[in-house]
Amino acid sequence: MSLLRTLQAWFGGGSAARLEMAIRLHEAGDLAGAEAHYQTILHTDASNADATHLLGLIAHQRGEHVRAVAQIRAAIALNADKAIYHFNLGNALAALEQPQAAIASFRTATTLAPGHIGARANLAHALTLTGQHRDAAVELRYLLRQQPIAATRDALAAALIRCADADPAAAEAYDEAAALLQLTLEGADAPAETRLALAHCLQQRKHWSEAADQYLAVLLLQPANPQAHNSLANCYNQLGRIAEAIRHYRETYRLAPDFPEALASVLACLNYDPECTPAQSAAEHRQWAEQVAAPHYPRTVQFDYDRDPERRLRIGYVSPDLRRHPVSAIFAPVLDAHDRDRVEPICYYNFAGEDAVTVRLKSLASRWRPVAGLSDDALCEQIRADRIDILVDLAGHTAHNRLLAFARRPAPIQVSWLGYFNTTGLATMDYFLSDPWCSPTGQESHYVERLLRLPHTRFCYQPPEYMPGVGPLPAESSGHITFGCLNNLSKLNVNVLALWGAVLSAIPKSRLLLQAAALDDAPNRTRFGALCAKHGIAPDRLELRGFVPIEQAPASYAEIDIALDPFPFCGGMTSLEALWQGVPLVTLAGETIAGRQSASMLMNLGLAELIAENAAQYLEIATHLAHDLPRIAALRSGLRARVAASPLMDYSMFTHALEAAYRDMWRLDPG
């Protein structure tokens, strides 16, 4: 039935002859003739709502939407019970870019006529335009029941994805969207776009292998799609497949040089790559700076700050991780311990979400600036307005960093500390904070920044309240040694697995317990298990565990006799937790900070004998310790007290040393 015949049906049983003629003309496209008839009808019957409405429809069809709205509202004033009046009013309002008013009209139409498909479809569209995706999904579900077509399925899937993207509590919407997209996939008009949406859903639900398969399928259709390359790299990164992640991040940047985040991701991944030498890594960080940061370097910089070397210093901390995160766990006690007579700490928080940790950190800072919505230039303006003396970056090349703001030099002294393990590459970054054990003499050539070594350690540890007590030595009841590692899978490369296989071979009946979120991904678990077997770790001696909530994860140390540290990227927080739980840690000291953090901890504990300089020593230390149960038991019973009495937990001493370092920087700065 044509639109106007439909209109006539809506008007109810039988219209006057002139209205019938007018509708015929209208239907034939003779808008002028139909308009003349509608006006004649109104001349003799001014209260004829149908003719009034249809004149408004003609105005809408001519693009005269303001007149259409007035005309149709006049018809509704005469008769408010006809759904089609409200439907066409909504269409005119939508054309005037008044979506909220259009939504109200479409809702009225669907209330009066629940089966009005057009009104529901246009309502869903208007809700989508205004970001009301949850309500749009309700309308689209109704439409899908009435008309199960691909376009509606895709629209519903898109609405569900937007709901889940906006609200982590609505993550199950990804599952519903994925099911809809699977139905559409085979006959999709745009298969690459459909696969991208499906892959996004799978990725958000941590089905990384399945998502990777979809991204690979997209690349078969569109080999030069940078979004697919970058998302595939993100999946491989999560799965611990670092070499493949690096390759696709590089391809992303080649295809989309206006997306420098991909190149930053390469730099972060290089810390895990056993094939990447320190010299190569340093060169790539410098190259990033030349390509991405250098255009933002200021030609001249002047700061009219009071150069009194002993005055109170304003220290700015920039981080996206001032929330529940390992960085904040280490940083919060420093913020609390700062001497407010000497230092004024100001935090620049570069993440949109907040949690209980964020709230606590706000209370500890002298000033708090949420900056996630600011451009780099606007952030620099804020930092300059705050007259920051020393600006400290806590993120490096990790997610949500603001290194391009540091490139603009908004503060006279700029420092990299805590959240990254390598040079930033920035010519505008003045110092990198480390310690004597993480950065022995000779590392200077790998840094653009000046290495400043704190006296004992580059960070401290404050055990969270959920850490369990130290349990008995597992080997005493199990009858065998259990080695363990709770680091993420990206650190467990083939060199690590081969050495661990040799350790297990040297200690009969010993077992290896590994715990990592990437092992929840079933295909990846199978892949990784096969990789372990290939390098001498038999399945019957291997226990693989997936994600464990942060409060429960340390409980696994109750089952571990000896922790094995990976390389070239060793443990950080996991090493501290193992030692706090009384578990001795065997580490291979690398050439960079990323590979020497555990060694620094052990040096601070007086346990240099657990530090290997090469793989042969690592094997010797692990096997010798495994054969000495009394030694392991003694360490288990005494390690917690040793950690508590060490510089690793002396936040007062550490913060004093940190403030002294800031003071030295300020005194040395030429101004």
Contact 271, 422 (CB under 8 A): yes
Find tokens 């003629």 and name the residue: 21
Helix (H) or strand (E) holding 655: helix 651-668
* Assigned token pair, 153: 């399925």
Q: For residues 447-466, give the mean pLDDT.
A: 97
Closest by CA to 15, choosing from 410, 7, 199, is 7
Chain segment 479-497, per-residue pLDDT in tens: 999 999 999 999 999 999 9
Contact 38, 61 (CB under 8 A): no
CA atoms within 13 A on the CB side of 236: 22
Could you confirm whether domain 3-192 is CATH 3.30.1330.60?
Answer: no
Interior CA angle at 276 toward 270 and 280, to 5°?
Answer: 95
* Assigned token pair, 427: 């010519």
Does residue 16 surpass a pLDDT of 80? no
| 464: Cβ contacts below 8 Å, ≥ 6 apart | 329, 551
SS3 assignment, position 597: helix
- Quick one: residue 509, left, alpha or beta (phi over 0 = left, psi -120 to 50 = alpha)? left
Superfamily of domain 474-649: Glycogen Phosphorylase B; (3.40.50.2000)
Closest by CA to 230, choosing from 242, 214, 246, is 246
Closest by CA to 78, choosing from 48, 110, 38, 55, is 48
Does residue 5 surpass a pLDDT of 80? no
Chain segment 521-549, per-residue pLDDT in tens: 999 999 999 999 999 999 999 999 999 99
Q: How far is it, in rounded angstroms, from Cα 384 to Cα 387?
A: 5
**Residue type at position 330:** I
Helix-strand-coil split of the chain, %, nearest 5: 60, 10, 35
671: pLDDT confidence band, cut at 50, 70 and 90?
Answer: low
Which CATH architecture does the domain made up of 202-270 adopt? Alpha Horseshoe (1.25)
Q: How far is it, in rounded angstroms, from Cα 453 to Cα 474?
A: 38
Q: For residues 183-197, give the mean pLDDT.
A: 92
Helix (H) or strand (E) holding 369: strand 367-370
Cα 438 → chain centroid: 28
Contact 273, 492 (CB under 8 A): no
Top CATH class of 277-298+306-460+651-671 equals: alpha beta
Interior CA angle at 30 toward 24 and 34, to 5°?
Answer: 60
- Tell me whether the CATH fold assigned to 3-192 matches the one assigned to 474-649: no
SS3 assignment, position 19: helix
pLDDT reported for residue 168? 87
Find tokens 């590692």 and name the residue: 485
14: pLDDT confidence band, cut at 50, 70 and 90?
Answer: very low
CA atoms within 13 A on the CB side of 149: 7
Closest by CA to 575, choosing from 491, 660, 671, 666, is 491
Chain segment 75-93, per-residue pLDDT in tens: 999 999 999 999 999 999 9
Interior CA angle at 513 toward 510 and 514, to 5°?
Answer: 145
Find tokens 């360490």 and name the residue: 635
User: Which one is predicted more confidently, 220 or 671?
Assistant: 220
pLDDT reported for residue 670? 67
Domain boundaries, the chain: 3-192, 202-270, 277-298+306-460+651-671, 474-649
Backbone angles phi, psi at 235, to 5 degrees: -65, -50
DSSP conformation letters of 147-170: ---HHHHHHHHHHHHHHHHH-GGG
Q: Strand locations in 229-340, DSSP E?
A: 313-319
pLDDT reported for residue 55? 95
CA torsion through residues 590, 592, 593, 594, sign: negative
Q: How far is it, in rounded angstroms, from Cα 123 to Cα 130?
A: 11
Helix (H) or strand (E) holding 270: helix 261-270
Q: How far is it, in rounded angstroms, from Cα 232 to Cα 368?
A: 36
Task: Enumerate the β-bridge partners of residue 562.
Answer: 483
Chain segment 373-431, per-residue pLDDT in tens: 999 999 999 999 999 999 999 999 999 999 999 999 999 999 999 999 999 999 999 99
Backbone angles phi, psi at 598, to 5 degrees: -65, -40
SS3 assignment, position 315: strand
Closest by CA to 565, choosing from 593, 608, 595, 603, is 595
pLDDT reported for residue 12? 40
